Amino acid sequence: MLQGFLAALSPANLLVEILGVIIGIIFGAIPGLTATLAIALFVPVTFLMSADAGMIMLGGIFAGAIFGGSISAILLNVPGTPASIVTGWEGYAMARAGKAPLALSLAALSSGVGGLLSAMALLFLTPLLSELALTFGPPEYCALLLFSFAIVIVMMETPLIRNILSCCIGLLLTTIGLDPVTGAARFTFGEVSLMSGFNLVAVLIGFFCMTQAFFLAFQSLDETTSELVEFGKENPYLELVKTVVMQATTYLRSSVIGVFLGILPAVGPVTTPFIAHAIERRFHPRDRNFGKGSIAGLIASESSISANVGGSLIPLISLGIPGSGAAAVFIGSLTLHGLQPGPMLINNEPVLIYTFFWGFVAVNLFMMLFGLFGARYFAVVLRVPKSVLATFVAVFSILGSYAINNSIFDVGVMFGATGLALWLRALRVPILPIVLAVILGPLLEQQALVLVTTSSSFASVLARPIADGFFAITIVIFAVAIVSRLRKTRVRHQRARASTRKAE
């Protein structure tokens, strides 16, 4: 741990920490550019760095982008990333009331506190979870993976059957290439380039970057310029210190919620602030500004989002299961360096992992400092036209996917993934289950095959309490989701029938 701490403070790593945070804040501040897109674009760049520097840089981009989204949310009421919608409710109202410096500083401080607490959770919970995961055999892994898929399938708002279809399409895509156990070629149609399957990074760039380039291009064609809120000259720091004392429990509560939700697969930074904000509302029944300029609401939103970032990295490092879409893209960087996320990672590469953990602590400190003292300067990037953004996201998507193996085939894979993402979007089939399936598919197949060949009977699988627990939770989750959705549909049909009767 000490070695990791010292390595995280080396000049080279300090440089990538600062660089990552700055890049992240810039990407996050620009509406239309998300944290996932920023990470996906920079994954190929990390190939040129050492594994620890690459991971720290992506951690900086992730944390910075999540905070950066609040700048445009507060100054323009246009969330820079989808995670900043709730921040926009509270922050923009404060900014319009002439408190833009306080709102931005509060966002920076809350993000910093949430991020630091999540970094601590990452530092201390990941080794524990990894140790527990070392006792896992194929039954536990299969149960855990099915549980992860179940959470993602249930959490999406689209109909369950479409989410399951999305997951199955993703799993089927991972079967293209060589079979992970016997090495037999499957569905390659004689194409040598398909032997190793689709490149994960190229697929992720297609899903998250090129699709966004197309949407940005269209948005640029009817772009309307939004006016920035007058920044004001007040000094917010005294009031900021006051909030630390008065709202300490809000910071803590929202951060804990953020970390917890981050650990769960699929509950990414987009959903988290809504839940944290709703919970915090119960603790402030007399706050009439709640939802439209409340300090507690802003703290709840920002602390929980940033805490979610670290939380989503805990299952990623310890189990190999990403806690959010952006964390999923992180895996691309690990695979580029030949590292397999999972419980063995921390045992095989302890210095690398602890360097990353301490680097993540430093990243959150830098993010807080840049946010507190430089947020107003980052607001300049809000003036970059979307036509320029769309063009450069497109060119970097293509160059990034080409640079992975210097292969035009990967560019084709990237375009294929873009086409698939747009097509499924038109079909209202969500993309996140596919992303998770593409990442976890090979592991599921491997573990399922080992389970089938090594288990003598079904009873031997049932004798594993952790696996049983995960299987039971998975079944309960599905049952609850099906019942609640059926109930909602029935209510909707009853209302529709009642309104038709009224109209008649």
Candidates 168, 240, 344, 473: give the one binding another protein (CB under 8 A): 168
Residue 383 touches another protein, criterion: CB under 8 A: no
Residue 30 touches another protein, criterion: CB under 8 A: no
Q: Which amino acid is residue 351, in one-letter code?
A: V
Smaller CB separation from another protein, 231 or 409: 409
Kindly indicate which of the ranges 17-25, 64-72, 217-225, 299-307 contains the residues binding another protein, using the contact rule CB under 8 A.
Answer: 217-225
8 Å CB contact between 309 and 110: no
Candidates 15, 128, 161, 462: give the one binding another protein (CB under 8 A): 161
Q: How many Cβ atoms from other residues are within 10 Å of residue 39's Cβ?
A: 30
Residue among 135, 143, 443, 108 at smallest CA distance from 306 = 108
Q: State the binding string over 340-379 for another protein (x if CB under 8 A, else -).
A: ----------------------------------------
Q: Under DSSP, is residue 302 helix (H, G, I), strand (E, B) or coil?
A: helix
Q: How many CA atoms lie within 13 A of 305 on its CB side?
A: 35
- What are 300's two structure tokens? 């709840």
Backbone angles phi, psi at 33, to 5 degrees: -100, 120
Question: Within 419-448, which residues bind another protein (CB under 8 A)?
Answer: 422-423, 425-428, 445, 448
Residue among 214, 40, 170 at smallest CA distance from 431 = 170
Rounded least distance, CB 458 to another protein, Å: 17
8 Å CB contact between 167 and 265: no
Residue 117 touches another protein, criterion: CB under 8 A: no
Candidates 10, 50, 220, 289: give the one binding another protein (CB under 8 A): 220
Segments in 247-349 forming alpha helices (H): 248-263, 272-283, 295-319, 325-336, 343-348
Residue 403 touches another protein, criterion: CB under 8 A: yes
8 Å CB contact between 56 and 363: yes
Candidates 2, 135, 192, 222: give the one binding another protein (CB under 8 A): 222
Residue 135 touches another protein, criterion: CB under 8 A: no
Candidates 242, 492, 495, 497: give the one binding another protein (CB under 8 A): 492
8 Å CB contact between 46 and 391: no
Backbone angles phi, psi at 137, to 5 degrees: -110, -175
Residue 169 touches another protein, criterion: CB under 8 A: yes
Dihedral angle over CA of 294, 295, 297, 300, nearest 10: 180
Measure Cα distances from 272 to 59, 104, 276, 439 in Å.
19, 20, 6, 23
Kindly indicate which of the ranges 35-43, 67-75, 173-181, 274-282 contains the residues binding another protein, using the contact rule CB under 8 A.
Answer: 173-181
Candidates 124, 218, 283, 373: give the one binding another protein (CB under 8 A): 218
Candidates 11, 135, 182, 465: give the one binding another protein (CB under 8 A): 182
Candidates 164, 252, 384, 450: give the one binding another protein (CB under 8 A): 164
Residue 158 touches another protein, criterion: CB under 8 A: yes
8 Å CB contact between 58 and 20: yes
Token pair 């806690």 in the structure block, residue:
323
Candidates 14, 384, 449, 477: give the one binding another protein (CB under 8 A): 449
Report the interface residues with another protein, using CB under 8 A. 48, 158-159, 161-162, 164-165, 168-169, 171-172, 175, 179, 181-182, 184-187, 189, 210, 213-215, 217-218, 220-222, 385-388, 390-392, 394-395, 398-399, 402-403, 406, 408, 411-412, 415, 422-423, 425-428, 445, 448-449, 489, 492
